[in-house]
Structures are given as structure tokens and as C-alpha cells.
Amino acid sequence: MPENAGEMVAGGLSADPASVGALRYDTGDSDRRALIRETFYNDVTDEVTAEAAVSLLSADAPAGVASEPITVTAERYGSIPHSYVVCTRDNAIRPALQRLMIREIDAISARPTTVVEMDSSHSPFLSRPAALADVIQVTHRAIDRPHQSRTAGV
């Protein structure tokens, strides 16, 4: 999609997902390993953590999640409070695509999405765990107090 221009997932794959039925990563290839790190963990400054995260990736991640349609209804998902953390440095799901997903969910939701933006890669749980914990707390408060602002930045 145009909203995901600049994503780096495809460049890190070592096989065509349509041929192998999976998102295949070769973490043993040093060039691909560096690209995988830039894709998912570009702001993880601790070398040991970043390398461990790359090493934990499955060689064949399910490809269907990205290609299967997901039906969201106002009666089901749209009726519950929901939130989204936009990771502004995400090279896997670009911020424009994240915001499109939020707009699409809000189009059928009874309540708007509580949105918090973080200056982070795809993996704030590794790069900024304390800030992410704060985001979760802020989001929880915003859902509990719907009259307050639905958007915040961290």
C-alpha cells in the first residue's frame, strides 16, 4: 500500500512469501541481519538486546496474517474501548499505514481510538520499556476518562 512506502520487511526476506507460504528470514546472513535489525529494532541501543531479539526471530514467520482480510464490526470490536501506539520510527509498519488502520477502525467504532505516539521503532518494548509502560498507563486513563484528549505524545 502507498501508506507503507519505505517499509523494510520485504528487503529482509530470503524467499518469496507466495512461494514458501511464510515470511522467511535468514538471520545468519550478516547483510540481512543488519537489515532486520534496522527494520524492527532501529532504536534498540543495547547491542546484546538487539542481537538477542534478531536471534529469536523465527526463520519462517506466518505470512497469512499480513494477507488475510480481517472483518471488524461495530458490534464486536467497535463497541469496546481500544487504543493504538503509533511508533513513529517503525520501518516494518510505517506510521502512515498505522494511522490509516486507526482511521479505518474509527470509521466503524462507537468510540474513537485512544492514540499515543512514541518516537520509537517497531519494538518499543525493547527500546523504551519504561516509556511504553507510561503510554499504557496514559492510555488506560484516557479510556477511563473519555472526556479528556484522545491523543497524546511520548
Task: Show contacts of 55-59: CB within 8 Å, 24+ apart.
Answer: 55/27, 57/25, 57/27, 58/25, 59/24, 59/25, 59/26, 59/27
Q: Is it the case that residue 87 has pLDDT exceeding 60?
A: yes
pLDDT at residue 56, as a whole number: 87
pLDDT at residue 148, as a whole number: 52
Encode pLDDT of 38-84 as tens digits: 999 999 999 999 999 998 887 787 776 666 777 777 887 777 888 99
pLDDT at residue 152, as a whole number: 53
pLDDT at residue 97, as a whole number: 97
pLDDT at residue 70, as a whole number: 74
| 69, 21, 95, 124: CA torsion to nearest 10 | 120
Length of the chain counted residue by residue? 154
pLDDT at residue 154, as a whole number: 59
Cβ-contact 3, 100 below 8 angstroms: yes
Closest CA to 7 of 79, 68, 95, 77: 95
CB atoms within 10 A of CB 135: 21
Cβ-contact 100, 136 below 8 angstroms: no
Cβ-contact 153, 134 below 8 angstroms: no
Per-residue pLDDT, averaged over 78-104, amounts to: 93
pLDDT at residue 92, as a whole number: 96
Encode pLDDT of 116-153 as tens digits: 999 999 999 999 999 999 999 988 887 766 555 445 55
